[in-house]
């Protein structure tokens, strides 16, 4: 099948030695094609050149279309007499060097008397022409189908249809890689010019044409060999090729099945064992938060077990397209929260579900970012806390499935990935098909741990390459735009946000520094350079003294701050100890001011829970003015900042504010079937969105529980929280090398 397409398409498109064309009055056209007359277009543009005949002997036959004699038939009475055919265009059909054989029988040249009396296109009846046309059309359809569906079709298309030739391709060793400088690419182009500079342009052209002919003839030979095979043999070859590909994939993953031994510090030495607070009032509040977790988990188990999320009002399962066909997001997201709250029975049933039902062998397109922070992060955290090998195995398995997302020219990963086919793409709404800063910039922590847990550096290499690309780019005013094109490795548009689209990139720079036990100096520099630019260009103060972080769009500020941006208060405070000299207190104060602003966004609503975004313009401060910004979906960012501010300052107002949030959740979001988000936080009557988000169990309740716990539960010097609040230990401090463990 593949061979027939090569042969027939090649005959139609690449035949050489065509006979010279004749002008209408018999003069020879300069390029061997019939010339056009302005008055005889016959429905075709006068500038269109007719195809060359296939044989030097002139034994060609043309199928003609059009209702009038045109410039391609004006000099050929025999062809003009054939009349119009109901097909589009002018197609060479069969040919023979001397008019014999099939071509001669159809009216070939050379004056041969063989064949039918009066042979020629005009001698055929209309029905015979239709039959020939149908046969020819079926043949072409079959051959083109073979091109696209048989193995190695891409090589066939490039080698036969498009004349691909090594001589015409850029030299691979001079191709600039991710993050390569423009000067390097220019040097490579100059070097290629020196190496390939021909002494004679005509000789160079002839050399290129010779290579094209050689590739074409080789393709034809392969096609001929394929045509000689029986259909059963072709089918067997296809199956063998598929099996080979499957075996290659299995061998690539085999190394990840043999996971190395990993040292785990006893959990009681790194603060993963809970103790009751000494203060009775604090103990009672913490117990209330644990009861909230039980209510959320119990109803998820009752109404949506195994689904991604719960619909607490309608009491059913809810599955977001972010996870494709992967199920169990709430189970995996809640694992470490169940563990630190000492909910042993619930943790064990969640672990059993993971062992028996968590399946990544699905044909599904997933969000690389969401699957990484929720599933990979949740599984890694559960492994470090419990030591159960199933969690490490599943985390590495999923990590391997995410690797094809990085197969882009720059190494910047796609946002979406089909984890079965390995085909990736970006969100259709993202600027110019770009990847998003907060998504590709929020893989570092988990992928560094995947390399440690698997013993394979490939995960770390992928995320370190992202750093390389970013460091080689110019930053407008020192800022990182939200959109980056994965093909060109360049910014797509200058929109900067510390909220949605940008937020966790900055968080992961700081936490990469901390997770490395403060050895990743590159991450530290990138973080402090970034927040210096943010403070200069984005951070503003309202008339009444509220500090907020605006969004930057090509040099213009939009005075809007999102709920997602409220995490930044905790980030500034967490990084304060390592700030440049004299700046520690400044960043602690900046964190406190952001926390106050976000608290005001809560306090100025009817339900005392904050909107998705709030504005500082037109006399408005910390209030949502647009209907599509007034909802609350159980987000954790505000209580996350409260947690960090409490741990770092022990100012009692942060516990007070956190308890206000607990009371508001209980009063306005709790329903019989769990906890639901709200459509409008300014509305006096609750309007539920009917989704209990998995991050409510992973983040919101965990941060609230830690605010009312002692500091030695998950101490910040030993643990890093990923952006989904999953626990990752500081690598070089808490985890010894494998060889040390073996001694």
170: left (phi over 0), alpha (psi -120 to 50) or beta: beta
Contact 86, 77 (CB under 8 A): no
Residues carrying an active site annotation: 370, 503, 612, 637
For the stretch 244-247, contacts whose Cβ atoms lie closer than 8 Å and that sit 24 or more positions apart, written own/partner, are none
State the SS3 of 672-725.
Answer: CCEECCECCCCCCCCCECCCECHHHHHHHHHHHHHHCCCCCCCCCCCEEECCCC
First CA to last CA distance, the chain: 62
What is d(CA 491, CA 178) in angstroms, rounded to the nearest whole number?
14
Which candidate, 569, 524, 529, places its Cα nearest to that of 546?
569
What is the DSSP pairing of strand 483-485 with strand 490-493? antiparallel
CA atoms within 13 A on the CB side of 664: 25
3-class secondary-structure state, position 486: coil
Please, what is the angle between helix 637-649 and helix 653-664, to 10°? 150
Q: 681, 606 in Cβ contact below 8 A?
A: yes
- What is the Cα gyration radius of the chain? 35
Cα 242 to Cα 246, 254, 391, 672: the distances in Å are 6, 18, 31, 52
- Dist CA 608 CA 564 (whole Å): 17
**What residue has token string 């060097």?**
97
Query: Which residue in the block uniquely carries the two structure tokens 């065509």?
Result: 18
Task: Report the distance separating Cα 112 and Cα 120, nearest Å.
Answer: 11
In whole angstroms, give the CA distance from residue 375 to residue 386: 16
SS3 477: helix
What's the token pair of residue 231? 């259909």
Residue 597, annotated ligand binder?
no
The CA distance from 600 to 602, in Å, is: 5
Instruction: Report helix, strand or coil for 552.
Output: strand
Question: Could you count the other beta carbons within 10 Å of the beta carbon of residue 677?
Answer: 21
Mention every residue, 6+ apart, whose C-beta is less than 8 A from residue 292. 662, 665, 666, 670, 675, 701
**One-letter-per-residue 3-state SS of 286-325:** HHHHHHHHHHHHHHHHHHHCCCCEEECCCCEEECCHHHCC
DSSP track, 589-606 = HHHHHHHHHHHHHHHTSS
* Cβ contacts of 268 within 8 Å, gap of 6 or more: none
In sequence order, the 6+-apart residues with CB closer than 8 A to the CB of 90 are 50, 51, 62, 63, 64, 65, 72
Alpha helices in 38-165 (DSSP H): 77-81, 101-105, 126-149, 153-156
Angle at 630 between CA 629 and CA 632, to 5 degrees: 105
Let me know: does 625 contact 568? Beta carbons within 8 Å.
no
Q: Cβ(345)–Cβ(298) under 8 Å? A: no
Residue 48 structure tokens: 């269109």
Strands (DSSP E) contained in 532-598 are 539-541, 547-549, 551-553, 556-558, 560-562
Pick from 613, 523, 634: which is nearest to 575 by CA? Answer: 523
Question: Which residues fall in the annotated binding site for Ca(2+)?
Answer: 723
Question: Which residues fall in the annotated binding site?
Answer: 723
């Amino acid at each position: 099948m593949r061979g027939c397409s090569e042969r027939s398409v090649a005959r139609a498109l690449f035949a050489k030695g065509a006979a010279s064309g004749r002008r209408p009055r018999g003069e020879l056209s300069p390029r061997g094609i019939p010339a056009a007359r302005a008055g005889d277009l016959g429905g075709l543009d006068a500038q269109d050149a007719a195809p060359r005949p296939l044989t030097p002997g002139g034994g060609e036959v043309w199928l003609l279309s059009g209702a009038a004699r045109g410039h391609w038939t004006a000099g050929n009475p025999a062809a003009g007499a054939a009349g119009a055919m109901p097909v589009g265009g002018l197609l060479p059909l069969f040919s023979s060097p001397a008019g014999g054989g099939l071509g001669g029988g159809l009216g070939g040249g050379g004056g041969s008397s063989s064949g039918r009396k009066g042979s020629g296109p005009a001698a055929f009846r209309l029905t015979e022409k239709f039959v020939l046309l149908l046969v020819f059309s079926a043949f072409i359809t079959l051959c083109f189908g073979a091109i696209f569906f048989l193995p190695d079709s891409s090589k066939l298309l490039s080698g036969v249809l498009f004349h691909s030739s090594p001589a015409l391709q850029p030299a691979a060793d001079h191709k600039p890689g991710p993050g390569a400088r423009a000067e390097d690419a220019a040097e490579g182009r100059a070097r290629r010019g020196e190496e390939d500079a021909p002494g004679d342009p005509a000789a160079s052209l002839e050399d290129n044409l010779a290579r094209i002919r050689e590739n074409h003839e080789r393709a034809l030979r392969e096609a001929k060999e394929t045509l000689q095979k029986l259909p059963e043999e072709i089918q067997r070859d296809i199956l063998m090729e598929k099996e080979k590909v499957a075996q290659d994939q299995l061998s690539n993953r085999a190394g990840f099945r043999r996971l190395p031994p990993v040292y785990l510090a006893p959990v009681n030495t790194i603060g993963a064992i809970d103790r009751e607070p000494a203060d009775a009032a604090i103990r009672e509040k913490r117990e209330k938060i644990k009861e909230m977790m039980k209510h959320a988990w119990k109803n998820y188990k009752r109404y949506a077990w195994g689904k991604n999320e719960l619909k607490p009002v309608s009491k059913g399962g809810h599955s977001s397209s972010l996870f494709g066909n992967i199920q169990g997001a709430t189970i995996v997201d809640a694992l470490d929260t169940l563990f630190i709250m000492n909910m042993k029975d619930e943790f064990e049933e969640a672990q059993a579900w993971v062992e028996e039902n968590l399946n990544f062998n699905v044909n599904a397109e997933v969000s690389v970012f969401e699957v990484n922070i929720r599933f990979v992060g949740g599984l890694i955290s559960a492994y470090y806390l419990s030591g159960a090998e199933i969690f490490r195995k599943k985390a590495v398995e999923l990590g391997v499935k995410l690797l094809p997302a990085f197969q882009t020219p720059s190494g910047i990963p796609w946002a979406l990935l089909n984890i079965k086919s390995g085909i990736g793409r970006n969100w259709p709404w993202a600027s110019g098909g770009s990847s998003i800063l907060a998504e590709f910039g929020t893989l570092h922590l988990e992928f560094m741990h995947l390399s440690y847990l698997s013993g394979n550096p490939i995960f770390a290499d992928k995320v370190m390459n992202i750093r390389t690309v970013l460091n080689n780019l110019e930053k407008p005013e020192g800022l990182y735009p939200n959109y980056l094109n994965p093909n060109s490795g360049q910014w797509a548009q200058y929109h900067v946000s510390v909220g949605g689209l940008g937020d966790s990139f900055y968080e992961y720079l700081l936490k990469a520094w901390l997770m490395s036990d403060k050895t990743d100096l590159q991450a530290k520099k990138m973080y402090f350079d970034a927040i210096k630019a943010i403070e200069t260009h984005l951070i503003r103060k309202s008339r009444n003294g509220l500090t907020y972080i605006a969004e930057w769009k090509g040099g213009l500020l939009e005075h809007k701050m999102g709920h997602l941006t409220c995490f930044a208060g905790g980030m500034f405070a967490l990084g304060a100890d390592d700030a440049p000299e004299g700046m520690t207190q400044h960043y602690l104060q900046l964190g406190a001011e952001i926390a106050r602003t976000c608290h005001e966004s809560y306090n100025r609503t009817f339900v005392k829970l904050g909107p998705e975004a709030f504005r500082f313009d037109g006399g408005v401060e910390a209030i949502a003015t647009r209907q599509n910004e007034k909802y609350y979906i159980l987000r954790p960012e505000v209580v996350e900042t409260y947690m960090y501010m409490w741990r770092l300052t022990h100012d009692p107002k942060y516990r007070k504010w956190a308890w206000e949030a607990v009371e508001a959740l209980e009063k306005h979001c709790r329903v019989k079937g769990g906890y639901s988000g709200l459509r409008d936080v300014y509305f006096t009557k609750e309007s539920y969105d009917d989704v209990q988000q998995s991050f409510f169990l992973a983040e919101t309740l965990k941060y609230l529980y830690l605010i009312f716990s002692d500091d030695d539960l998950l101490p910040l010097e030993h643990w890093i929280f990923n952006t989904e609040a999953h626990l990752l230990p500081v690598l070089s401090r808490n985890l010894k090398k494998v060889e040390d463990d073996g001694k």
